[in-house]
Amino acid sequence: RKMRLFTAGPVACFPEVLEAMKFQMFSHRSKEYQELHKDATLRLKKFLEADKATVLLIPSSGTGFMEASVRNAISPRGKVLVTVIGEFGNRYKETVERNGRVPVVLEEELGKAVKPEELDDALKKNPDVEAVTITYNETSTGVLNPLRELAKVAKEHGKLVFVDAVSAMGAADIKVDAWGIDLVFASSQKAFGLPPGLAMAAVSEEVFERARKIPERGLYFDLLEIREFLEKQWSTPTTPPISIIIGLDVMLRIIDRMGGKDAWLKMYAERAETIRRRVLEFGLELFAEPGYYSPTITVVYNPPGIKGPVIYEELRKRGIEIAKGYGKVRDITFRIGHMGYITQEDIEELFRNLKEVLASLGFAKR
């Protein structure tokens, strides 16, 4: 049975993408594979405006690149300014710690974005950090950080800029070279609407230079080795998820056909706007601070006296899956994801059913 997915990922794939992935396997050392890898990489490079930076596709979920950023570019026991606006900022902090580096945390009240002045202050107080990490879109709170402005501040202080764009890439703009981003990564199962299993990243020359000075980069996520394979043979050191790369290639072609990057990002912005408007029309309240709303996930306060997981279960019975609250706000919110293949009819069905479910649970609009 088809579930209408408003999850935080995996999300629904375009039918055309699913169709294209029904493909007999071939070797990742073949000419056919090289052509595919090259085409997908160059298309993503264009989408990310990463002429100078190197675009890498590797078999991993997004978190793999989070770890790779720390292992390849931060000196052993080096300091990193980690901005935390929710659960995924905490994951970056933990990644830094577990790899023997030292996080210096700039934390915001949940629901808020990091402001450029605050980052500037934190960097003045901690001039010895080597990098700044930014969660572009915090999936647990539905907040989109002002990436361009934050990256600008970090660059003014001469720091590396690492960006977790797992739930942003493909929906919120990223101009890798122009914004001075040193490493940005995402997962396939989010805004590009692909199956999980592929990590995508853009990496600056400075990261590779630093990597040369760090001997213990590990094996799987050695970015120098990954780049070497790309340059020598348009492939990866370990076996790539070929089907998903076919999916990515097709998805990027669909985006071009739909009018290119700007038209695609506009589609995402409008979809998010519609969902927020409908939520507010119900008399529900948004968790994120105004001005920093996520284009990919809307986090909503539970209506008084109603538990998020109950709404979740009731909607599932009706063939609709949303996402439960996550992290510290688990008990006070529920989430409506809006990534991947979602039709106007899906949105109508979501709100028709949500209205009935809320009414059955005794929620009356005030």
Pick the stretch among 125-133, 160-168, 255-263, 329-337 that binds ligand PMP (CB under 6 A). 160-168
Say how many C-beta atoms besides its own lie within 10 A of residue 110's C-beta. 21
Question: For 169, which DSSP code?
Answer: B
- Binding status of residue 187 toward ligand PMP by CB under 6 A: yes
Comparison of 167 and 235: residue with beta carbon closer to ligand PMP? 167
Question: For 289, which DSSP code?
Answer: P
- Rounded distance, CA 142 to CA 145, Å? 10
Whether residue 71 contacts residue 97, with contact meaning beta carbons closer than 8 Å, is answered with no
> What residue type is assigned to position 104 of the chain?
V
Pick the stretch among 40-48, 162-170, 249-257, 316-324 that binds ligand PMP (CB under 6 A). 162-170
Say how many C-beta atoms besides its own lie within 10 A of residue 307's C-beta. 16
Structure tokens of 308?
Answer: 């998020």
- Binding status of residue 250 toward ligand PMP by CB under 6 A: no
Q: Give me the least distance between CB of 127 and ligand PMP, in Å please.
A: 28
- Rounded distance, CA 85 to CA 212, Å? 32
- Binding status of residue 145 toward ligand PMP by CB under 6 A: no
Q: Give me the least distance between CB of 35 and ligand PMP, in Å please.
A: 27
- Binding status of residue 167 toward ligand PMP by CB under 6 A: yes
By CB under 6 A, the count of residues binding ligand PMP is: 12
Q: Give me the least distance between CB of 321 and ligand PMP, in Å please.
A: 15
- Binding status of residue 339 toward ligand PMP by CB under 6 A: no
Comparison of 233 and 238: residue with beta carbon closer to ligand PMP? 238
Interface residue with ligand PMP, options 33, 47, 88, 312 (CB under 6 A)? 88
Interface residue with ligand PMP, options 34, 61, 243, 353 (CB under 6 A)? 61
Long-range contacts of 359-366 (CB under 8 A, 24+ apart): 360/314, 361/303, 361/306, 361/310, 361/311, 361/314, 362/305, 362/306, 363/303, 363/304, 363/305, 363/306, 365/282, 365/283, 366/283
Taking each continuous run of H as one helix and of E as one strand, the counts in the chain are: 13, 14
Q: Give me the least distance between CB of 51 and ligand PMP, in Å please.
A: 26
- Binding status of residue 321 toward ligand PMP by CB under 6 A: no
- Binding status of residue 164 toward ligand PMP by CB under 6 A: yes
- Binding status of residue 135 toward ligand PMP by CB under 6 A: yes
> For the window 2-41, what string marks contact with ligand PMP as x by the rule CB under 6 A?
------xx--------------------------------
Comparison of 49 and 164: residue with beta carbon closer to ligand PMP? 164
Interface residue with ligand PMP, options 68, 166, 207, 300 (CB under 6 A)? 166
Interface residue with ligand PMP, options 10, 62, 170, 325 (CB under 6 A)? 62
| Angle ∠(300,302,306) on CA atoms, nearest 5 | 155
Comparison of 187 and 302: residue with beta carbon closer to ligand PMP? 187
Comparison of 33 and 65: residue with beta carbon closer to ligand PMP? 65
Question: In whole angstroms, how far apart are CA 162 and each of 138, 246, 314?
Answer: 14, 27, 39
Q: Give me the least distance between CB of 94 and ligand PMP, in Å please.
A: 12
Whether residue 36 contacts residue 26, with contact meaning beta carbons closer than 8 Å, is answered with no
Q: Give me the least distance between CB of 78 and ligand PMP, in Å please.
A: 22
Structure tokens of 181?
Answer: 């981003």
**Per-residue buried b or exposed e for 141-155, using 16+ beta carbons within 10 Å of the residue's own CB:** bbbbbbbebbbbbbb
